[in-house]
A = this chain, B = another copy of it.
Amino acid sequence: MFEFRLEGTSGVARAGTLRLPHGEVQTPAFMPVGTHAVVRGLSANDVRRTGSQIILGNTYHLHLRPGEEVIRGLGGLHRFTTWDRPMLTDSGGFQVFSLQGLRRIEEHGVEFQSHVDGALHTLSPESAMEIQWQLGADIAMAFDHVVPGQSSFEAAGDGMKRTLRWLDPCKERHAELTAQPSSGSLQTMWPILQGGVHDELRLRSLEGTLARGPWTGIAVGGLSVGEPKPVMHRILERLEPALPADIPRYLMGVGFPADLLEGIARGIDLFDCVAATRNGRHGTAWLPTGRLNVRGAALKDSAAPLDPTCDCETCTTYPRGYLRHLFVVEDILGLRLISIHNIRFLVRLGEQARSHILNGTFDRWSSDWLLRHYARGD
């Protein structure tokens, strides 16, 4: 269990298969985000039909509503959501450090105010593990200290070092939980690299993390939080040669279409992002020819599919004129259908990248794709 088999490379781009308790994940792969135990607006069947192999749950949100005890009582996150494939939960670190309200960082953890009702809560390395254990996803994430994208060397170093210090109690508590006789060890835990935009801190984060291993996977956190894209790319390039080849690498919170290809080209295997569903809800569809506002008057009379090259439920079923109509009359079916397409678009991009990596054509294909993308100014 939790094995990763590397099946092919093209430069540093990788194709592999990750074995998890609820199934296999062929990488590279995009993971849709199920913030509140639901990929916004979609049923588990809708998401399955997009070809998604693994989805995310947010520990922060699920801790507040309905609470991990409720989910545990109902048989865990898989039974609760009826999603029977692999799942990953984040640790709540990102949400807690992004909160606008009251927040107090102590060495033992973070005290924060719920955005729902203002109540005080505390998340610590230990409690983040306990909550995720109760939720029961295949993969739990370590509790990390995320700093904004433009943080100074000192501030980013501070967060990175705290993340490393927190990794010890995370690992220890997670090992205790999975060692319980009844557990069957059906969950693994992955560490998160921090260090802001500073190469030296990033490499020290990696060194400290590997020293605390071994791990079944590793995540790069604290990117796509305000820093310029070239900076993110540079950090991935600096990290890549030092990352272990035999475990999957997960770039957290990153997942616009071009980000996927840029990340894969830099050795990343897994991605997640809410942009697919957020754009879908706002009527923006991702197409091979660029973004499309589904409300546009030009779609009114169109019998064409949204994306004639796409095999998703939306594109194989509905004419553009009908999709536009749903947004005009404000029916929620519209939000759902565009979200389904956008997720399928990213999942398919992962599938295409994988096939090009295995065929040795990834470089040419991805650089052509990105050239067209940037030429459009998307």
Query: Which residues of A are interface residues toward B (Cβ below 8 A)?
Result: 36-38, 40-44, 61, 65-66, 70, 73-75, 79-82, 300-301, 303, 317-319, 321-322, 324-326, 328-329, 331-333, 335-337
Contacts and interface: CB of A to CB of B under 8 A. Distances in A.
9 contacts: A36-B325, A41-B332, A61-B329, A65-B328, A70-B300, A70-B325, A74-B301, A74-B321, A80-B322
Nearest to A322: B80
Nearest to A80: B322
Contacts of A301: 70, 73-74
B303 A74 contact: yes
Given A36-B329, A332-B335, A318 B66 contact: no
Nearest to A325: B66
Q: How many copies does the complex hold?
A: 2
Contacts of A82: 317-318, 322
A333 B43 contact: yes
A255 to B, nearest CB: 20
- Nearest first, the 7 closest Cβ-Cβ pairs linking A and B are A36-B329, A332-B332, A41-B332, A38-B331, A74-B321, A66-B325, A74-B303
Contacts of A329: 36, 38, 61, 65
Contacts of A44: 317
B322 A74 contact: yes
